[in-house]
C-alpha cells in the first residue's frame, strides 16, 4: 500500500468513526488538526491503482471518496461518490472537478483545501431521488517537499439523520402544543370555580374541565398506541373474523352524528370477507377513518364504507366527498402529527395521530394502506389485508 493510500485509509477511518470533523489520525503519528495537511510520503508517490487491494476496499465503502489533484482533475472516485454526486466514477477520471461535480460551493471548498484549509460541512445536493443532505469533508493532502498535491473529498449521506432530527423536534413541538391547550383550559376553569365558588360556576366549568381531561387521556392513549406501533410492540389478538360484523356496529354508531351534520353514511358489503385479524384493532381502524371522513365532509356530502375481496386480499375502503387532500400533502398524511391544515382541526380534537395509528395497525397485520384524493372532490382510503395469512409457528 502506497503512502498516499495509508493516509487516505487513516482519513476514511476517521470519517467513518465520526471523528473527522474534529481530529484526524495519521498512521504512526500523533493526532493532527483538521486544518493541517496530511503528509503522504516521498515525492513521486503513485496515485491509487484501480487494481490495488486498497482501491477495492474503498470501492466497497458506503462513504463517497473522491481524490482530486492540484490541477483539479479527478484522480480517483468510488461508487458511493458517483451515487452522491451523480456521475460515473470511471468516466470521471481525469475530468475537471467542476465538470464531474457541478457545485459552486464544493468547488470553493476544494480551492480552500489546496491552500491548506480543510472543511467539514453539510451540502444539499439535488438528484434523481430528490434533495438529499450530505456531510461533505474536504481535506488537503501533501507529499514531503511539496505542498497540497491532492484534495480528498468524503461524502456521507445524512438525509435520514436530518429527517429524524427534524421529526424529533416537530414531535416535541406538537406534543407541547397538544398538551398545553387543554391544560391551560383546565387551569383557567378551575381557577374560575375557586374564585367564584357559586354552584352555577361549578355546574358550567367542571363538566368542561372533565371534557378536557378526557381529551388529554385520549391523546396520551394515542401517543402510547403510536409508540407501540413504531417499536413493533403492537400486540394482536388474532382470530378468524367477519369484516362486516366488525364494521356494521361502528358505522351504526356514527349514523346519528352523520345525520346531525347532514352527511349520508352507508356500509356496502360487496361480498362476504373473513380474515385472520384482531377485531379490536380493526375497530380502531374503522373508527379513525370514519371519524376522519366526517370531520372533513360538509353538509350534503356522502361517506361510503366498502368491504370487498380482490385476489388474495380483503379490501376495506372508506370514500368521502369531502374537501380532499392537496397533492403535495398526500405522501405525508400517515406521518405522526402531520396535519394538512391545522386550522381545520382546531376544536375538533385532531392531533394528526389517527392516520399514523391506522397505518401502524395495518402494517402489524401485514397489510397496506393508501390514499387517493382530489382537492375539493373527496378522498378514498384503501386498505388491503391478506385473507390467507402465513401459518404461525407451532405454539405461537
Parallel/antiparallel/unpaired status of strands 302-310 and 274-277: unpaired
* Strand spans (E) along 51-177: 64-69, 74-77, 119-127, 130-142, 150-157
Residue closest to 34 by CA, chosen among 116, 157, 108, 153: 116
Q: Is 340 helix (H, G, I), strand (E, B) or coil?
A: coil
Residues 65/154, Cβ–Cβ less than 8 Å = yes
* 247 in the same domain as 189: no
Distance from C-alpha of 221 to C-alpha of 284, rounded to nearest angstrom: 12
Contact status, residue 67 vs residue 48, Cβ threshold 8 Å: yes
165 and 209 share a domain? yes
Residues 291, 261: Cα–Cα separation, whole Å: 12
Q: CA nearest 359: which of 225, 265, 263, 167? A: 225
Residues 217 and 244 occupy one common structural domain: no
Domain that holds residue 110: 3-157
- Same domain? For 57 and 22 the reply is yes
**SS3 of residue 92 by DSSP:** helix
262 and 395 in one domain? yes
Cell of 236: 394482536
Same domain, 258 and 372: yes
Rounded to an integer, what distance in angstroms lies between the CA atom of residue 303 and that of residue 263? 7
Final residue in a domain of this structure, among 233, 261, 286 = 233
Are 392 and 251 within one domain?
yes
Comparing CA positions, the residue from 302, 220, 229 lying closest to residue 261 is 302
What are the angstrom distances between the C-alpha of 385 and each of 130, 308, 309? 31, 11, 9
Domain endpoint, select from 218, 233, 248: 233
Tally of domains within the chain:
3
Contact 149, 142 (CB under 8 A): yes
Domain boundary among 233, 265, 282: 233
11: helix, strand or coil = helix
pLDDT, residue 394, reads 33
Splitting the chain (396 residues) into consecutive groups of 10 residues, what average pLDDT does each group show?
A: 56 50 33 41 49 73 87 88 87 88 89 88 78 87 68 86 74 70 80 79 82 76 66 79 94 93 95 91 92 92 94 93 90 78 48 80 92 92 80 37
Rounded (5°) CA angle 27-29-33? 100
Return the number of other C-beta atoms located less than 10 Å from residue 221's C-beta: 12
DSSP string, 150-164: EEEEEEEE-HHHHHH
User: Radius of gyration over alpha carbons of the chain, in Å?
Assistant: 30
Q: List strand residue ranges (DSSP E) for 99-187, in order.
A: 119-127, 130-142, 150-157
Query: Is there a single domain that holds both residue 263 and residue 395?
Result: yes
Do 39 and 165 lie in one domain? The reply is no
DSSP string, 268-327: EE-S--EEEE-HHHHHHHHHHHHHHHHHT--TT-EEEEEEEEETTEEEEEEEE-SS---G
- 266 and 352 share a domain? yes
356 and 336 in contact (C-beta within 8 Å)?
yes
Amino acid at each position: 500500500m502506497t503512502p498516499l493510500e495509508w493516509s487516505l485509509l487513516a482519513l476514511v477511518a476517521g470519517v467513518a468513526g465520526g471523528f473527522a470533523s474534529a481530529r484526524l489520525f495519521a498512521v504512526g503519528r500523533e493526532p493532527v488538526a483538521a486544518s493541517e495537511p496530511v503528509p503522504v510520503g516521498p515525492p513521486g508517490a503513485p496515485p491509487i491503482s484501480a487494481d490495488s487491494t486498497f482501491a477495492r476496499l474503498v470501492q466497497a465503502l458506503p462513504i463517497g471518496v473522491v481524490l482530486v489533484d492540484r490541477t483539479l482533475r479527478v484522480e480517483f472516485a468510488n461508487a458511493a461518490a458517483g451515487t452522491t454526486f451523480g456521475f460515473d466514477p470511471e468516466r470521471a477520471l481525469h475530468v475537471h472537478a467542476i465538470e464531474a461535480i457541478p457545485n459552486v460551493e464544493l468547488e470553493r471548498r476544494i480551492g480552500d483545501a489546496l491552500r491548506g484549509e480543510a472543511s467539514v460541512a453539510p451540502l444539499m445536493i439535488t438528484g434523481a431521488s430528490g434533495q438529499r443532505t450530505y456531510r461533505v469533508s474536504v481535506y488537503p493532502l501533501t507529499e514531503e517537499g511539496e505542498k497540497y498535491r491532492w484534495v480528498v473529498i468524503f461524502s456521507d449521506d445524512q438525509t435520514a439523520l436530518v429527517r429524524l432530527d427534524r421529526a424529533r423536534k416537530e414531535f416535541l413541538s406538537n406534543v407541547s402544543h397538544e398538551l398545553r391547550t387543554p391544560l391551560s383550559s383546565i387551569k383557567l376553569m378551575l381557577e374560575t370555580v375557586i374564585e367564584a365558588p357559586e354552584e352555577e360556576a361549578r355546574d358550567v366549568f367542571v363538566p368542561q374541565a372533565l371534557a378536557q381531561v378526557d381529551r388529554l387521556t385520549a391523546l396520551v392513549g394515542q401517543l402510547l398506541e403510536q409508540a407501540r406501533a413504531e417499536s413493533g410492540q403492537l400486540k394482536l389478538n388474532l382470530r378468524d373474523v367477519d369484516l362486516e360484523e366488525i364494521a356494521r356496529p361502528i358505522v351504526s354508531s356514527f349514523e346519528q352524528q352523520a345525520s346531525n351534520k347532514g352527511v349520508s353514511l352507508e356500509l356496502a358489503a360487496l361480498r362476504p370477507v373473513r380474515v385472520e385479524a384482531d377485531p379490536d384493532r380493526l375497530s380502531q381502524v374503522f373508527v379513525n377513518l370514519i371519524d376522519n371522513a366526517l370531520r372533513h365532509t360538509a353538509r350534503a356530502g356522502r361517506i361510503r364504507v366498502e368491504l370487498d375481496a380482490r385476489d388474495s386480499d380483503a379490501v376495506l375502503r372508506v370514500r368521502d366527498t369531502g374537501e380532499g387532500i392537496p397533492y403535495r400533502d398526500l405522501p405525508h398524511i400517515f406521518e405522526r402529527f402531520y396535519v394538512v391544515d391545522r386550522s381545520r382541526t382546531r376544536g375538533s380534537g385532531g392531533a394528526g395521530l389517527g392516520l399514523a395509528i391506522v397505518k401502524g395497525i395495518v402494517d402489524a397485520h401485514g397489510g397496506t394502506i393508501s390514499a387517493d384524493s382530489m382537492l375539493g372532490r373527496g378522498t378514498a382510503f384503501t386498505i388491503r389485508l391478506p385473507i390467507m395469512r402465513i401459518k404461525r409457528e407451532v405454539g405461537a
